[in-house]
Structure 1
Amino acid sequence: MYDMSKTRVAFMMCVTTGRRGAEKDIEVMNKWFDKYQFETPSGQCIDPNGQEILPALEEFRDQINQSEDEISCCLITLMSHGRSHGLIQGKDGDKVDLDDIFALFNNIQCPKLQEKPKIFIIQACRGGKEDHGVEEIKHEFKEADCTCNLIAIKRLPIASDYYVVYSTQKGYVSLRNTEKGSRMIEAMDEVFSEQGMKWHIGDLFTKINNNLVNETFSIHGCPVKETIVVESTLTKAVYLAP
């Protein structure tokens, strides 16, 4: 597992304009920052314009690189409107490419986080399609055995140790309730409350996805589904418990 005993840092950006219920998401994420002992050196980035997002993250990255403390982990939560092709928006509608954000924390741009977990939680739409689900059909599957031998070397790839959670599939809307907040953040709160001090992050988000997949929500009276997507280049397990 990763050594999580040193300083942990977090950054939160949230657009509340035109996103009723987003205040609940802020409340939930602040609760878990506190519970898991994440410091927020940059404070919170609430309702930025699109052109303000990258500079705020660059400042956060620079604070990490210049810190005298050893950093165990960084957690970045981005909650806003989103579009296809990996774009998120500020309150003014100006767009930022998520790839440009991820690159700020790679092993070149952020050497302080080399071989340290970099967790991104992206609560945003990734397109305009709605997932109305499909009737389940039972199949019998057989698992094929697949093994892969890895050779450990000291030289690092440009980007590694990332864990990126998207609140929905590529091309689809992300669901948010005007009172309870975003459905993924709501499911995170439930699972973290039950198992967050015991399980590693991979199991936590697998359970979160299970809970979401087995729920049916509604948009304008039509049933709609949501499933999260996780992309990982982690090399060890991440346990968030202090």
Structure 2
Amino acid sequence: MAFLVAGSLRVAVEKAETRNCLERKGKYDMSGARVALTLCVLEGQTGENRAVAALEAMYQALGFENYLRRVIKTQSFQEELAHFRELLDAHGSPVSCALVVLMAHRGRPGWLLGPDGKEIQEKVLVGELNRCQALWGKAKVFLLLGSNNTGLESSAFLPILTDLYRQSPPWHFLEVLTQVIGKVTQEMPTIGHKCPVFQSSLRGALYLGRVRAQDLELSLTPEGKYDMSGAKVALVLCVTQDRPGAEQDLKALKRLFQILGFKSILKMDPTAQDFRKELAQFREHLDACGTTVSCALIVLMAHGEPQGQLLGADGQMVGVEEMVRELSTCQVLQGKAKVFLLQGCRGGNRDPGTRPRALPWLGQWLQHWLQRPSTLPSQADILQIYADMQDVSSRVCFPRNSDQVDILRVYSAAEGYVAYRDENGSDFIQTLVEVIIADPDRDLLELLTEVNRRLCEMDVLGPDSDEIRKMNLEIRSSLRKQLCLKI
């Protein structure tokens, strides 16, 4: 999904919900129809016609059917999406992917102004589309083009994206978006303004271009990699109090840093003020040392609260974005990759992962079998039913406005949800270290997609009950190039 809010183009790619949407090699199945919906409330707005023309070109390049295009005057976004959902469910044909483009005025961060002038949360709109049965287990991409007083913003994004796909590069979607970010930022008058950011919880490679299987084997490397020839440094701030398993995470990270060649600094049980002080000192040290630095990796491990708050050892809160801004001012790291790994809860919600109402056919199927004993399900059928009922529900959280570039944030849980950890360590850190060590020369975004796939398929017994719980990562990136940590 892409969102342009308060001068920041934000791309958030939503995960599919079910396991069987991924092919054997970890790619989303794109053999079905691709449908698109364009909703516009900017009638007569400067730049609207150019954006619509660019959208049509993008749909054509990606093989999307422009299912609907409406200039909304009275209906709300949610009503239009509900209508789109009903059309897809009634159509009956297999659908591989849905692309929804919203051209609207901006409200508060995370909110849009509808045609009636009332605000609506972006996550409410995504939740509406998630109800579409035809799209269960399929990729859903949202693109929001916002408007300011001078007209439609980020006019470069759509043409650049379309041009890349017209070249038919056999790259997965996150690689393409990274290339787009790099090219868009080159056209900015000053670096650090209106920086594109995409948000992803994909669990497999999503290929939107017309790509043949043999093309993937001959894939050329996307242009541009971060230069990793300089020093690689890491700062770990970890609260161990009342966090069993934190020590195991520290051991795993130490091993990872040794393999990747990172020099690390560890601060145990920092207070909220220590979080701020240690990061400020880390930044000052990098600027003063005079050494060429290629990459900075910041690991923050603590109890967490919604809206990006972490709890220090003193129980006081510190904001994650506050620390991101602090590191962004480091002169030595300008144009260099800055990675934040955030292990901590982001709320108290626990995802059970089962949605009986999402399988209306199940009761009819079982009833049919019970009425006809000769056609009782096989063991494989039963296992498939169980797997379908363990699907991870789809959730999307949208980043606040950001003007920072070359930053990657990796959250261990979606906004509002619990991040799981036990005496053996956290599922996020342990899986992350395992995946990276197995293939350290690979692009980090690809590795994180694999981490998310493994986490989504885990069945976790939460401390609140003996019922199965599910989880997924949330990735937010303004990286402009490929990032390979080992090189």
The TM-score bracket by the shorter chain reads 0.7 to 0.9
| Distance (Å, rounded) in 1 between the aligned partners of 2:323 and 2:354 | 35
Counterpart CA distance in 2 for 1:48 and 1:110 is 22
Structure-1 separation of matches of 2:233 and 2:421: 26
Quick one: which amino acid aligns to residue 283 of structure 2? R
1:134 to 349, 354, 357: 354
Matched residues in 1 for 2:327 and 2:272: separation? 19
Distance 1:158 1:81 in 2: 27
Decide which of 444, 447, 452 is 1:204's aligned counterpart.
Answer: 447
Q: Residue in 1 aligned with 2:52? A: none
Figure out how many residues of one structure are paired with residues of the other and give that number. Answer: 218
Q: Of 304, 310, 316, which aligns to 1:88?
A: 310
Cα deviation for residue 47 of structure 1 reads 0.6
Distance in 1, Cα, partners of 2:438 & 2:316: 38
Residue 167 in 1 paired to residue 391 in 2? no
1:71 and 1:158 map into 2 onto residues whose CA distance is: 22
TM-fit CA distance, 1:158: 4.6
Aligned to 2:143: none
Quote the residue 1:215 is aligned against. Answer: 458
Task: Compute the displacement of 1:166 (Å).
Answer: 0.1
Note the residue ranges of structure 2 that are not aligned, 5 or more in a row. 1-224, 360-387, 389-401
CA separation in 1, counterparts of 2:452 and 2:477?
A: 15
Distance in 1, matches of 2:354 and 2:406, equals 35
1:69 and 2:295 aligned? no
Residue 192, structure 1, aligned to residue 436, structure 2: yes
Report the counterpart of residue 249 of structure 2 in structure 1. 25
Q: What's the counterpart of residue 342 of structure 2?
A: 122
Instruction: Find the aligned partners of 2:251 and 2:288 in 1 and give their Cα distance.
Output: 29
Which structure is higher in helix share?
2
Report the Cα offset of residue 91 of structure 1. Answer: 1.2
Q: Could you report, residue by residue, the CA deviation over 1:87-130 in whole angstroms, capped at 9, with x for unpaired residues?
A: 00111211101111000122xx2121111000000001001111
CA distance 1:85–1:158, change in 2 (3 Å): closer
Q: Distance in 1 between matches of 2:448 and 2:281?
A: 29
Aligned to 2:277: 55
- The whole-number CA distance in structure 1 between the counterparts of 2:271 and 2:234 is 20
> Helix, strand or coil: the match of 1:11?
strand
- Pairwise CA distance, 1:48: 1.2
Instruction: Say yes or no: does 1:13 pair with 2:246.
Output: no
Contact 2:280 2:327 in 1 (8 A): no
SS of alignment partner, residue 332 of structure 2: helix
Percent of pairs identical after alignment?
32
Match for 2:344: what amino acid? A
User: Match for 2:240: what amino acid?
Assistant: T
Q: CA deviation at 1:67?
A: 2.0
CA displacement at 1:186 relative to structure 2:
1.3
Rounded to whole Å, the distance in 2 between the matches of 1:190 and 1:3 is: 24
* Paired letter, 1:226: M
d(CA) in 1 for partners of 2:245 and 2:403? Answer: 37
Matched, 1:37 2:261: yes
Larger-gyration structure (1/2): 2
**1:176 alignment counterpart:** 421
1:2-60 per-residue CA deviation (whole Å, 9 max, x = no partner) reads 000111111001111000000000001111111111112xx311011122110011000
Q: What is the distance in 2 between the residues matched to 1:52 and 1:10?
A: 16
Structure 1 length as normaliser, TM-score?
0.87
CA distance in 2, matches of 1:51, 1:69: 27
Q: Which residues of structure 1 form unaligned runs of 5+?
A: 139-156
C-alpha distance in structure 2 between counterparts of 1:162 and 1:230, whole Å: 11
Taking the aligned partners of 2:307 and 2:481, their CA distance within structure 1 comes to: 29
Shift of 1:66: 1.2
